[in-house]
Structures are given as C-alpha cells and as structure tokens.
C-alpha cells in the first residue's frame, strides 16, 4: 500500500491533480483513497472528491503537521475500510515544513505498513513566473514566505497550469527554475492534460524513498503571521430559488461575491454548488479565467446549496462583509430568492504547533 503526499500553495491545483490521477488509477482497476486537509470543518475538497465517488477521509481543524495523529488515524481508517492500493493526501495550501513535521515523523515513528512514496509540491506557473522574475506576488511578505518555504522543501516540484501559457514560455520558466533549484526534480504540469497526469503518476510511483530529504529552517513567527493574515471563511448558504432559475441565482451570487472580494488578495475562494442532481466546484480567484460561468448551467430544483471555503488576505470582518454585501445585492436583483446561512465559521488560523518536528 503506497501513499503520496501532495503540497503546494492555495489554489495551485492539488485537488484537481489528485482527483484526475485517481480517476486514471480507478479506471485501471486500482483502489484509491484520498485524505483531504483544511482548517475549517466543512470542506469543499472533500465534498468534491466524494461527489466523484472517490473514498475520501479528512483531517480538519488544522494542518497535517499540527494534527499528525489524526493523519495517521485517517490513513488507518482508509486502510481498514477500503484497503486502497494508493492513497493521496493533500495538505493545506498554506502549510509548509512538511518534511520535518510529517515526512520524518512518519518515517521514524510510524508503525503503519503504508509506504510514503513521494512528496510533490505544486506551484501555479503564473505565481512561480513572478517569483523567479523577482516581481512582487499579490500577498504580504509573510504569506510569500510560506510560498517560498514550500518551494524550498520540495524535492519534486510540479509547475502546474502550464496550459495557461505558451510552450516556449513554459520551457523558459522551467529553465529558470532548474537554474535556481538545481537539486530538485522539476516538471511542467497541467492537471487538465491526461498525458501529463500519467507522467506525474509514473514519476511518483517509481520514486525512491524520501529518507534523504533535508529539513528546512523555518521561522515559526513569520510562518504564524503569514497563516494568520489569511482569514478563513466557511459557510453553507441554502438558496430557495423562488421564481428564478437556479443557475441565474448562483451566477448572480458568485459574480457579486467575486466583485466584492476584488480589493483583497485571494489565496483561494472555492464554492461547491449543489442541487439534487449535480455538484459543481467553482474556484474564484484573482488569477483565474472565468471558466466557472460555463459550468453553471441548468441548475434545476427548488433549493441550491453553496458551500464556501474562502482563504483571503483580509480581516474576518471584511470577509464576512463581502458575503453580506453579495447576498444583499442578490436580494435586490432577484427579490423572490430566499436563503438560510449555516455552518458559518470565520477565523484567523492559530500559530502552527506541530505534533512532532524532527530535523
């Protein structure tokens, strides 16, 4: 039984790559399990993977490093329930220092007979391009610190979303990255391209053990500050669509949400839109094309649920205000719509305190 740890910044494509890879493996007759991880309680990624019929367990309420025992329990849970051939575990997008706090503890302390085969770190090609060209990233310094540290500890770095730029430019970025980090294995990736997903799978399934991975130096004051600057907002809004059509309601709401979020740097704003028939995951970031509009068509039914997981560089009050403004606007535009708000949580994450830290 093998497991593969996938890290990388918020919105870099971890869930997309894992679920696409899992689909390939399932089609080949293999059993796959997924461990998702996030700070809040109602996770869009878990619901999304479950909507694809992929066995998924979650570590909630903090990252793998601060909930290490729960991570092991969830690996056990998957082993005992579905006996998977392969497990993918996705860490929180603002988590770093995984070599010292997850990989080494697992290798040195764990009794589980599940082999940790690989550790991949994804990065969005557009953020990496800015970083390698010494251009500012759209976050404050200590948030960028987390991004940098994730890259520093990667031994397999996947430059994801290369479909968004032309091939010559992608090759140029790869070249720059290899010059800057000669010791790493670096691959161009697009989670949307089957052949590239297969290449990644071959790479991670053939990989050597991870015992030689060096720990990084981590300044936990900067890390804690970076984490805290990214406010978390979680909630589910149940819309009763009244005389309107479900997709009109959701499009209006998501448009407004994005509009009011615009002043703030978005790590990732993801929404799971669900009615009785379908579940659609939508990502709204500053950095992404509006492909979600094509997904939201023909949402029939009386009720539509929107589960929001937002990670935004802003205060809690500002993020809550954004949702309130978007709802107010929706009510003005479509007065017959009513809604109830549930599972509301908004917080700044606590300082990371890893269960173990082995260097």
Ligand X SMILES: Nc1nc2c(ncn2[C@@H]2O[C@H](COP(=O)(O)OP(=O)(O)OP(=O)(O)O)[C@@H](O)[C@H]2O)c(=O)[nH]1
Build a one-symbol-per-residue string for 212-251: x at contacts with ligand X by CB under 6 A, - elsewhere.
----------------------------------------
Number of shown-chain residues binding Mg ion (CB under 5 A): 3
Long-range contacts of 131-134, Cβ-Cβ distance < 8 Å, separation of 24 or more: 132/173, 132/176, 132/177, 132/180, 133/176
Residue from 161, 229, 247, 258 touching ligand X (CB under 6 A): that is 161
15 contacts Mg ion (rule: CB under 5 A): yes
Strands (E), the chain: 2-8, 32-37, 56-59, 86-90, 115-124, 156-160, 185-188, 230-240, 266-274, 279-284, 303-313, 338-347
Cα distances (angstroms) measured from residue 28 to each of 31, 54, 77: 9, 14, 23
46 contacts ligand X (rule: CB under 6 A): no
45 contacts ligand X (rule: CB under 6 A): yes
Q: In the bound complex, what is the minimum distance in angstroms from residue 294's beta carbon to ligand X?
A: 12
Q: In the bound complex, what is the minimum distance in angstroms from residue 101's beta carbon to ligand X?
A: 18
Residue nearest to Mg ion (CB): 15
Q: Which does 268 bind (CB under 5 to 8 A by kind): ligand X, Mg ion, none?
A: ligand X
129 contacts ligand X (rule: CB under 6 A): no
Check: CB of residue 163 under 8 Å from CB of residue 289.
Answer: no
**Phi, psi for residue 162 in degrees, rounded to 5:** -65, -15
Strands (E), 179-255: 185-188, 230-240
175: its two tokens? 């070249």
Residue from 192, 279, 320, 333 touching ligand X (CB under 6 A): that is 192
Residue from 164, 213, 224, 358 touching ligand X (CB under 6 A): that is 164
For Mg ion, which is the closer residue by CB, 247 or 268? 268
94 contacts Mg ion (rule: CB under 5 A): no
256: its two tokens? 């407004």
Q: Which does 104 bind (CB under 5 to 8 A by kind): ligand X, Mg ion, none?
A: none
Residue 257 CB partners (closer than 8 Å, separation 6+): 269, 271, 284, 308, 322, 323, 326
Q: Which does 187 bind (CB under 5 to 8 A by kind): Mg ion, ligand X, none?
A: none
Cα 33-116-143 angle, rounded to 5 deg? 85
101: its two tokens? 């706090």
97 contacts ligand X (rule: CB under 6 A): no
Q: In the bound complex, what is the minimum distance in angstroms from residue 45's beta carbon to Mg ion?
A: 4
16 contacts ligand X (rule: CB under 6 A): yes
258 contacts ligand X (rule: CB under 6 A): no
45 contacts Mg ion (rule: CB under 5 A): yes
- The count of other CB atoms within 10 Å of the CB of residue 206 is 9
User: Residue 163 gets which letter from DSSP?
Assistant: G
Q: In the bound complex, what is the minimum distance in angstroms from residue 49's beta carbon to Mg ion?
A: 9
Q: In the bound complex, what is the minimum distance in angstroms from residue 350's beta carbon to ligand X?
A: 18
Residue nearest to ligand X (CB): 93
Q: In the bound complex, what is the minimum distance in angstroms from residue 340's beta carbon to ligand X?
A: 25
| Helix, strand, coil shares, percent, the chain, to 5 | 40, 25, 35
164: its two tokens? 């968004």
* Residues at the site binding ligand X, with contacts judged by CB under 6 A: 8, 10-16, 45, 93, 160-161, 163-164, 190-192, 268, 270, 283, 288
């Amino acid at each position: 039984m093998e497991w593969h740890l996938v890290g990388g910044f918020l919105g870099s494509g971890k869930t997309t790559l894992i679920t696409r890879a899992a689909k390939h493996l399932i089609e080949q007759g293999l059993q796959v399990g997924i461990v998702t991880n996030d700070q809040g309680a109602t996770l869009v990624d878990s619901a999304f993977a479950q909507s694809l019929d992929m066995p998924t367990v979650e570590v909630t309420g903090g990252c793998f490093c601060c909930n290490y025992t729960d991570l092991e329990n969830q690996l056990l849970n998957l082993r005992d329930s579905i006996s998977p051939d392969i497990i993918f575990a996705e860490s929180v997008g603002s988590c770093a220092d995984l070599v010292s706090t997850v990989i080494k503890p697992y290798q040195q302390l764990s009794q589980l007979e599940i082999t940790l085969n690989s550790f991949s770190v994804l990065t969005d090609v557009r953020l990496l391009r800015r970083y390698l060209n010494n251009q500012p990233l759209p976050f404050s310094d200590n948030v960028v610190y987390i991004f940098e540290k994730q890259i520093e500890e990667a031994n397999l770095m996947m430059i994801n979303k290369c479909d968004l730029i032309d091939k010559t430019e992608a090759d140029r970025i790869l070249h720059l990255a290899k010059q800057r980090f000669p010791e790493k294995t670096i691959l161009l990736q697009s989670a949307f391209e089957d052949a590239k997903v297969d290449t990644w799978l071959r790479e991670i399934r053939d990989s050597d053990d991870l015992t030689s991975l060096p720990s990084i130096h981590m300044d936990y004051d900067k890390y804690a500050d970076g984490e805290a600057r990214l406010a978390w907002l979680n909630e589910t809004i149940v819309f009763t669509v009244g005389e309107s059509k479900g997709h009109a309601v959701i499009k209006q709401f998501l448009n407004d949400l994005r509009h009011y979020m615009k002043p703030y740097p978005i790590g990732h704003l993801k929404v799971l839109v669900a009615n009785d028939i379908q579940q659609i995951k939508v990502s709204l970031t500053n950095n992404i094309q509006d492909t979600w509009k094509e997904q939201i068509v023909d949402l029939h039914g009386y009720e539509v649920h929107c589960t929001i997981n937002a990670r935004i560089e802003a205060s809690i009050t500002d993020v809550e205000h954004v949702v309130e403004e978007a709802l107010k606007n929706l009510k003005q535009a479509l007065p017959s719509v009513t809604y109830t708000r549930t599972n509301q949580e908004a917080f700044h994450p606590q300082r990371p305190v890893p269960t173990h830290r082995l260097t």
